[in-house]
Amino acid sequence: MQPVRVLYSFPQKIGAGRVCELAWQQVSSIARAGADVTVFPGVLHKPFADSIVVQPTLSRGKARISYKLVGDLRAFALHDYIVSRRLPKIADRIDVIHLWPLGASRTLKVAARLGIPTVLERPNTHTRYAYEVVRRECEKLGVDLPIGYEHAYNADVLRIEEEEYKNADFLLCPSDFVLKTFLDYGFPLSKLTRHSYGFDEKRYYPATEEPKMSGGITMLFAGLCAVRKGLHYALEAWLASPAHEHGTFLIAGRFLPAYAEKLKPMLDHPSVRVLGERDDLPELMRQSDLFVLPSIEEGSALVTSEARASGCVILVSESTGAVCKHMQDALVHRTGDVKTLTEHITMLHENRTLLCELRRASLRTISEITWTASGRKLLEIYRSAIQSKAVRNSYNPSLAHA
């Protein structure tokens, strides 16, 4: 079987952290799975294996365009323009194009003209849904999001992304939750395809010892401390549970100042430790019994798979997109259901046998959620997209590209 030839277009600094690190891992995983990968990143922040061809769009040598100076949307648009101009020259060497939001509009149109199938990454829910649900939660809490802050309403972003949704052949949905938001906005199931993210096995692995059968329990929250992550629900549940009397709730991440001020009375409780941004997250996870993420909106939070791989039992909302099964390898609650989350924390605090059973069950299946497994699955999605596009193109011979 001939290798699938993938053009991977990413308008940001690939390998730089958060989604930039996710994209780097994704490229590496599909290359390991056997794809022939050419990457057009805005900027290459971390090198790839030699087998991966990399041609940055917004940098040359040590010279690079400043995202901060130009503005993200302008930088992403310039990246998209450059990729769209390069594409016709290499079209005969590309089988499928994998694109990312806000830097795909022109390239999608050129790809359609050339008959090349396209898959658009959807790292979060439908953006209109995300804006609305976060707005309602902020109003309920009395917290205002600064202009430009994550998930603060931006009409330009919404317009660009909705055009991209329309023009992509397929939308890559990393969780059933994400997929459902697109179905709810009228997208056909045939346009939506489920894939998954992974975790880095070299960094995230469990401690050898099992959780203590008595004494205080340690619960961890890690990530951007923003309204959409539901940290306020985790704090309410922790302080309502007897687990807080002898246990510790660790919070690792950067706070929105207005959100931190709103939560100050709970954050000041002696059982709560605010750690700030940390670079030792794997070790924190190995030291913790529970990992909590009660998000109101997510794509598929990588941190939940990383926590599972590190030996934490995860307590998550239905909106996290976590790869897990309730009462089999995790505990899952309805979004915003503090009462049930409180019961879950209390249950694992009081029943350490159950805690150990869930931990063992979770660790038994982590090989299914590695980046290696993700790359194999994504490669099959590419093949399916290529086949589907070929069938469509057969009804329109003019789309056969040079």
Tens digit of each residue's pLDDT (9 = 90 or more) over 273-287? 999 999 999 999 999
Return mean pLDDT, the chain: 95
Domain 5-198+371-399 is in which class?
alpha beta
**CA–CA separation, 199 and 161 (whole Å):** 27
Structure tokens at 382: 């590419």
pLDDT interval class at 293 (50, 70, 90) = very high
**CA–CA separation, 134 and 37 (whole Å):** 36
Over residues 290-305, mean pLDDT: 96
Beta bridge partners of 38: 7, 53
Contacts of 96 (CB under 8 A, 6+ apart): 4, 5, 6, 7, 116, 117, 118, 119, 382, 385, 386
* Ranges of H-type helices in 275-337: 281-286, 302-309
pLDDT beyond 70 at 396: no
Same fold, 5-198+371-399 and 218-368: yes
Contacts of 2 (CB under 8 A, 6+ apart): none
Q: 10 Å Cβ neighbour count for 168?
A: 24
Residue pair 120/101 in contact by the 8 Å Cβ criterion: yes
Give the start-to-end residue ranges of the domains of the chain. 5-198+371-399, 218-368
pLDDT tens digits, residue range 368-392?
999 999 999 999 999 999 999 888 7
CB-side exposure of 226: number of CA atoms within 13 Å?
A: 15
The 8-class DSSP code of residue 229 comes to G
- Residue 62: per-residue pLDDT: 83
Beta bridge partners of 124: none
* Ranges of H-type helices in 91-175: 105-114, 127-141, 155-167
pLDDT tens digits, residue range 111-160?
999 999 999 999 999 999 999 999 999 999 999 999 888 899 999 999 99
Fold entry, domain 218-368: Rossmann fold (3.40.50)
Residue pair 203/273 in contact by the 8 Å Cβ criterion: no
- Distances 154 to 99, 127, 133, 164 between C-alpha atoms, Å: 21, 10, 14, 16
Q: pTM for this one? A: 0.94
- Distances 196 to 172, 193, 299, 356 between C-alpha atoms, Å: 9, 10, 10, 26
SS3 for 96? strand
SS3 content of the chain, % helix, strand, coil (to 5): 45, 20, 35
pLDDT tens digits, residue range 20-46?
999 999 999 999 999 999 999 999 999
- Residue 401: per-residue pLDDT: 44
Comparing CA positions, the residue from 23, 29, 108 lying closest to residue 379 is: 29
- Residue 398: per-residue pLDDT: 53
- Distances 83 to 62, 161, 268, 402 between C-alpha atoms, Å: 20, 17, 50, 17
Contacts of 300 (CB under 8 A, 6+ apart): 174, 175, 177, 178, 196, 197, 320, 321, 322, 323
pLDDT interval class at 402 (50, 70, 90) = very low
Segment (H or E) for 341: helix 338-350
Q: Helix (H) and strand (E) counts for the chain? A: 14, 15
Structure tokens at 249: 């709730």
